[in-house]
Amino acid sequence: MTALAAARLGYRSIIYSPEADSIAAQVAAGHVEGAYDDEAALARFAAQVDVITYEFENVPEWTVAECKRRKPVRPGTRPIHFAQHRLREKAFFRQAGIGTADYHPICSEADLAAATSLPGILKTCTEGYDGKGQARVSTRDGLKAAWEKLGRRECILEALVDFQCEISAIVARGLDGTTRCFPIGLNDHRDGILRTTTVPSGLPETVLARAERLGIQLARSLDLAGLVALEMFVTRDGRVLANEMAPRPHNSGHWTIDACATSQFEQLVRAICGLPLGAVDVLAPSRMENLIGAEANDWPRFVADPTARLHLYGKAKARPGRKMGHVTYVGNWDVLPPNA
C-alpha cells in the first residue's frame, strides 16, 4: 500500500524481503530478495534507492543500521530499538511523559516473587503480536506457570486496565519537524487481533485532544521522520494510557485510504521524501473491518456493496488469525451496516 501511494506521487519503490514471493513486490518496480543479515544483498538494495523505510518493526535493528550506513533510513533505528522490546518501550513512554499501566519485568524467579501487577497480562518482551506470546494471569502460581509455558523468556507483566475503549493516534512528522495527527480511531480487538476501527470515534473532544497530544509527544520524543502509531486505553475515569507503538503505517489507519484527504501511506511517503505533509480531514464517516483467514473468501459480497471498499493483500494462503485484507465501509452512519 505504501508502494501504491508512492507510485501515485511519481516515485518508484524497490522492495527488500527474505521471501521470494514478496506481496509488496507484486506492485513495486523491483525486488531484492535476501536474508536480513545478508550484507551483500543489503548493499545491492541500497544502491538502487534514495531513501529507505520499513513497514513493520521486527526488522532486525542491525539490518536497519547497515542500511543507514549507505542511505538515509527514515524513521531510523531509534524507534524500532524501543518498539521491538516491550520493557524498553514502556520505560521510554514514561521517560517521554506518556502514562502507562503498571508493569513489572519478569526475567527471573526473583521477579516472579516481587511482581505485584496482578491480575495482569504476561507478554514476551520480543516478537509477540496479534495476541501471540502472551497470557492472562491472576495469581502468582498462574504467573509462574505462564512464564514456564513461554519458555522462561524475558517477559513483562502488565497490570489489567479498567478501560472503556481502545483508541489509536497515527502521527506523521516531516523532515522539518512539522507534525500532523490523523483523526483518532476507535478500535475493537478480539482475541488480541484488531477487528474494527471507526472514525469519527464519537469520544469527547477532551479525550481526543489528549490522545492527539500524546501521539505528537511520542513522535517528537523519537525525533523521527516518518509515521508512528500509538495505541492507547481510555480508562473509565477518563485517563488515556499508552499500550504500545508502531513506527510505521498501522492497521488502525487503513481507513484513511478511502475516507481521508491523505492516506497514511501517502503521508509516510511525503514525510520521508521531504514533501509537505498532506491534509488529514475526514471525507466521510467510515468503519474498517479486518478480514481474518477465510473471511476474505466473502469478497463477492463486499464488492457488491456500494458502501464497501475492498482491499485484498495478495497473500497466497489463508490461515486462521492471518489478516488477508480489509474492507472499509464509507458513508453516512444511517447506511453503514452494523458492527459484526
Same fold: 2-82 with 102-159: no
Q: What is the CATH class of 163-330?
A: alpha beta
The predicted model gives 208-230 an average pLDDT of 97
> 84 is written with which cell numbers?
521491538
- Predicted confidence band at 170 (pLDDT cuts at 50, 70, 90)? very high
Query: What's the pLDDT tens digit per position in 92-137?
Result: 999 999 999 999 999 999 999 888 888 999 999 987 665 678 889 9
Which amino acid is present at 282? Answer: V
Report the CATH architecture of 2-82.
3-Layer(aba) Sandwich (3.40)
Domain ranges of the chain: 2-82, 102-159, 163-330
Report the CATH architecture of 102-159.
2-Layer Sandwich (3.30)
What's the pLDDT at 165?
A: 96
The residue to which cell 524475558 is assigned? 154
The predicted model gives 309-329 an average pLDDT of 93
Query: What's the pLDDT tens digit per position in 221-269?
Result: 999 999 999 999 999 998 999 999 999 999 999 999 999 999 999 999 9
What's the pLDDT at 105?
A: 94
- Predicted confidence band at 340 (pLDDT cuts at 50, 70, 90)? very low
